[in-house]
Amino acid sequence: MSEPILVVDGLNGRIAGQQVVEDISFEVPASGVTALLGRNGVGKTSTIKSILGLIDRTGAVHLGGERIDRLPTHRIVQRGVGYVPEDREIFGSLSVAENLRLAERDDRPRRELIERLFPDIHARRAQRAGTLSGGQQQMVSLARALVNENRLLLVDEPTKGLAPRIVDEVAAALAEAAATVPILLVEQNLHVIRKLAERVVVLSGGRVVFTGSAADLLDDEARIQRYLGVHDATDDRAAPAHAPDHDAATAIPVADTTEELR
C-alpha cells in the first residue's frame, strides 16, 4: 500500500485567538477522494486553511513525507497543492483567461484539459469573470486549480448554492481530476460524496470523530444522523442549504494571496 500523500498530526488552528481546530489527526491516501465532513460550523474550512497556513496553526503536516507546516502558504502551493476556496474568490474585474493565467505556476499549464472539462468557460474566456453566473464562476475557480499539475487538491464546498445540473457538472469534473490527483474535499451534499469519495473524515466540535470508508458511513443511517444531523437523501439532487463555517467571516480573498500563491 502506498504512503499517504497528506498526514495531519495534532493540528490546531486559531482565528483571532479563538481555537477553531483542535488536535486533529488524519491521513489522505495518495489516490482518490477523501471527504472532510461534519455539521455546519465544526471547523472544516478552518482545517483546510490550517493545512495551508492561511490561519495560525500548530501541529505537524506532512506532504509526501515532507513536513510543510513550517512553510508559508505560497511555498506549500509551489510544492503542488492546489486550492479551490469556499465562495470561489475569483477576480471579478478580470477576464476568465486572465484569472487562469494568474493561477498558472509554470510554463506547462494544462489548457487543453481545461478546454475539455469546461467548454462553456473556454468559450467565455474573454468575458469578465464577475459577469458569469454562480455556476460558471465555480467552474473558473475549479479550472484555476486544475490548470496546474498538482500532487494534492484541497477543494472547499464546490457545490455550495449551485443548481442541480451544475452540481452534476462539478462532480463530473472532480471525478476526472481524481483519476490523476488525490483530493481532500469539503462537501455537504451526500449525493456528491456517495459518487466521489472512497474515504471520509468526520469532524465534530473541531475534532475528528470518525475516519473510514465512505460506504461504512453512508450505509449507516444512524451514523449519518449522529455525526451530520441529516438523512442520506441520495436522490435529492439539489445542494443543501449551507450555513457559515467557523471562519466564514474571515475568508481570505484570492486577491490578497495570489502573488504569494504563484
* Per-residue pLDDT reduced to its tens digit, 181-226: 999 999 999 999 999 999 999 998 778 999 999 999 999 999 999 9
- For residue 191, give the C-alpha cell: 449525493
Alpha helices in the chain (DSSP H): 44-52, 73-78, 96-103, 111-117, 119-123, 134-146, 164-178, 190-196, 214-218, 221-228, 254-261
Q: Taking residues 35-63, what's their average pLDDT? A: 95
pLDDT value of position 245: 41
Confidence band for 98, pLDDT divided at 50, 70 and 90: very high
pLDDT value of position 155: 97
From CA 204, how far away is CA 138, in angstroms rounded?
27
pLDDT value of position 258: 35
Task: Please name every residue paired with 37 in a beta bridge, in sequence order, or none if there are none.
Answer: 202
The closest alpha carbon to 85, from 63, 118, 52, 114, belongs to: 52
Question: How, if at all, do strands 56-63 and 152-156 pair?
Answer: unpaired
pLDDT value of position 209: 92
Lowest mean per-residue pLDDT among 57-66, 100-109, 228-237: 228-237
pLDDT value of position 87: 81
Residue entry with cell 490578497:
256
Q: Taking residues 154-177, what's their average pLDDT? A: 92
Sketch the domain layout of the chain as residue ranges: 6-87+148-261
Asked if residue 85 has pLDDT above 50, the reply is yes
Q: pTM (2 decimals)?
A: 0.84
The SS3 of residue 8 is: strand
Contact 155, 174 (CB under 8 A): yes
Instruction: Tell me how crowded residue 253 is: count the other CB atoms within 10 A of its CB.
Output: 12
Give the fold, CATH level 3, of 6-87+148-261.
Rossmann fold (3.40.50)
Asked if residue 234 has pLDDT above 80, the reply is no
From CA 50, how far away is CA 54, in angstroms rounded?
6
Lowest mean per-residue pLDDT among 59-63, 156-160, 181-185: 156-160
- For residue 42, give the C-alpha cell: 465544526
Contacts of 122 (CB under 8 A, 6+ apart): 114, 115
